[in-house]
Structure 1
Amino acid sequence: MFSALVLDDHDDEVYAHVRRLEASDLPDPGPGAVRLKVLYSGVNYKDALAVTGSGQIIRGGYPIVPGIDLVGRVLESDHDEFGAGEWVIGTGWQLGEVDWGGYSQQAKVDGDKLLPLPEDLSPDQAMTAGTAGLTAMLAVMALEEHDVSPEDGEIVVTGASGGAGSFAIALLDALGYTAVASTGSKGAHAYLRVQGASRIVHRREFEDGPEHPLESGNWAGAVDAVGGQTLAAIIARLQRHGSVAALGNAGGHELPTSVLPFILRGVNLLGIDSNTCPNDRRRAAWHRLAELLHDEHFERARARTISLEAIPEASREVLSGQVQGRVLVDMQA
């Protein structure tokens, strides 16, 4: 027997309950299944939407165990790559959305959706980063691959006080970039400076969008977690051949821009999808993240550690913007 946070729906209302389950209750993912003891997960924005029923995240029907991230030790495996006792990471690939996810002391996952835990990364560090850290690393890698170098100028990070944004600040700083944090949270300024932000600008600088299709080229590059008018403003203000890695839509999914920045300045809009990112690239990103960040980065990024029972309340706090940093879920607490 083990405990899991299970979502049920009734009359279009979603209810989250910690329940006792048996291994036989876990849905079979098919050939290559891996059953593991889950040690940690995290509370991402997408998780918070699922647990509170605030967004259309669950697409696999109810009941379901949410949690898009997990790290654990293999108990038994039908997959060629993994054997009993090995440590594995699972993020994305519809975990906690279609397939049962990480908010459980045990999970059964398609082995193709798992990766070995890098040797230089502890299980709690892996889930302090989670999807947020992985997505930030993918964004920074995309900027590197499009020739945005530290010598080119400042890199602005929008939604910087969020999980992906704050990890992007830390990663850019570790690589020698000059990272500028954009946030509307005055209380996050000290945290962002410690993470590596060279300076901070208010989000209002971008949230009304650009006045003109092309404006002064202020930014060598950007990591954008906001979308909408904010992303349009950044595109208009990128330097010649600059790039913006787009990884979120907290400010809206529509993009009111023009082709002029693309054809007159040669700027690049880079889409970052960590959910279905190919495993070879995921593996590279996890290893880069483990190399670049140290114990103090993860300690600063971790807001607090909670139990399964505390996930619903933490989810409400995440959605209301009350959480600064990452919430780690200890499955054995």
Structure 2
Amino acid sequence: MFKAILVDKNADVYQASVTELDEAQLPEGDVCVRVAYSTLNYKDGLAISGSSPVVRRFPMVPGIDLAGTVESSNHSAYKPGDRVLLNGWGVGEGHWGGLAQKARLNGDWLIPLPEGLSERQAMAIGTAGYTAMLCLMALERHGLTPERGEVLVTGANGGVGSFAIALLARKGYSVVAATGRLAQAEYLKRLGASTIIDRAELSSPGRALAKERWAAAIDSVGSHTLANVCAGIRADGLVTACGLAQGMDFPATVAPFILRGISLLGINSVTRSYKERVEAWDRLCKGLDLAQLDEITQEVGLSEAILAAHELLDGKVRGRVVVDVNR
């Protein structure tokens, strides 16, 4: 038996609870992992609360991230005792995820836990830090350098935003952080932001083309915010879109694209190739000051994760939430 958060839906009643499950109930997979830590991401909050139809199959164990140790394996790349981690691949949506003490998974979804990184550190980074690194990699593939000018980060107090600021600053970029929690300005500056702006400057309907302000941006918000970000990017600038905290809509015009030649780069963190995942995690290990993880992270036990998920959706959580599934 093992403990897990289980979400279920009977008629119109949606419920999430911590329960005990039998290993025989685990879904199909060729690697069984004893989970040490998981995380709470925005998508996990939606899955636990039922506020958006994230879960595609019931009952479901949420948790799109996990790190732990292989217990048994029929996959050629892994053997018992190997430390592994997972991000994405529909886990926590269509396949039981990481907010449990055990998981059975497709070994192709896993990568080895990088040397020198603990399970807790990996989950402090989680999909949020991994996505931020994918954004940085995409920007640099398209020619961004610190000399090009300031880089805007929206949703700055969130997980992706916090890591984006830290990664950019460590690479020498001048970072502008947009946040709705100006009281957290000192936190953002400690991460490396040089300028703080109120997200209200970007969150309402704006002009099709605004004053040129930033060389590039990492946006995890979507909707009017993303439209205004694009409108304010300098000629030939770059924007990565990786989230939808404000909404899935994109109420923009083609003006920034055809008059300034900007590029909008979509970031899919769910189904990247093995090579890309390993590269991103290798760069995270080298590009982050791991001592900053305690600044970015708070820890809860499995029994506290449901409440924390609701607080995350309510915008009451700064940075990252790591879940110790064994307490």
* Alignment equivalent of 1:315, drawn from 303, 309, 315: 309
Q: Does 1:140 align with 2:136?
A: yes
Residues of 2 paired with 1:325 and 1:291: CA distance?
20
Residues of 1 paired with 2:183 and 2:122: CA distance?
26
Q: Does 1:260 align with 2:255?
A: yes
**1:237 match:** 232
Q: Does 1:327 align with 2:324?
A: no
How far did 1:277 drift?
Answer: 2.0
Residues of 2 paired with 1:268 and 1:245: CA distance?
8
* Alignment equivalent of 2:45, drawn from 26, 43, 48: 48
**1:123 match:** 119
User: Which amino acid letter does the alignment assign opposite residue 19 of structure 1?
Assistant: T
Query: Are the counterparts in 2 of residues 120 and 291 from structure 1 also a CA contact under 8 Å?
Result: no
Residues of 2 paired with 1:318 and 1:261: CA distance?
33
Q: Does 1:2 align with 2:2?
A: yes
Structure 1 residue runs without a partner (length 5+): none
Alignment of 1:17-166 (within 5 A): 17-29=17-29, 33-59=30-56, 61-166=57-162
Provide runs of 4+ in structure 1 moved above 4 Å: none
Residues of 2 paired with 1:4 and 1:256: CA distance?
40
Give the secondary structure class of the aligned counterpart of 2:103: strand
How far did 1:279 drift?
Answer: 2.2
**2:246 match:** 251
**1:190 match:** 186
How far did 1:120 drift?
Answer: 2.9
Q: Deviations over 1:185-243 (max 9, x none)?
A: 122212111111111001111122432x3332110000011111111111111111110
**1:306 match:** 300
Residues of 2 paired with 1:293 and 1:122: CA distance?
14
**1:273 match:** 268
* Alignment equivalent of 2:283, drawn from 266, 285, 288: 288
How far did 1:24 drift?
Answer: 1.2
Query: Are the counterparts in 2 of residues 162 and 325 from structure 1 also a CA contact under 8 Å?
Result: yes
How far did 1:25 drift?
Answer: 1.4
Residues of 2 paired with 1:20 and 1:123: CA distance?
23
Residues of 2 paired with 1:20 and 1:234: CA distance?
46
Residues of 1 paired with 2:261 and 2:217: CA distance?
15
Task: State TM-score, norm by structure 1.
Answer: 0.95
Task: State TM-score, norm by structure 2.
Answer: 0.97
User: Which amino acid letter does the alignment assign opposite residue 14 of structure 1?
Assistant: Y
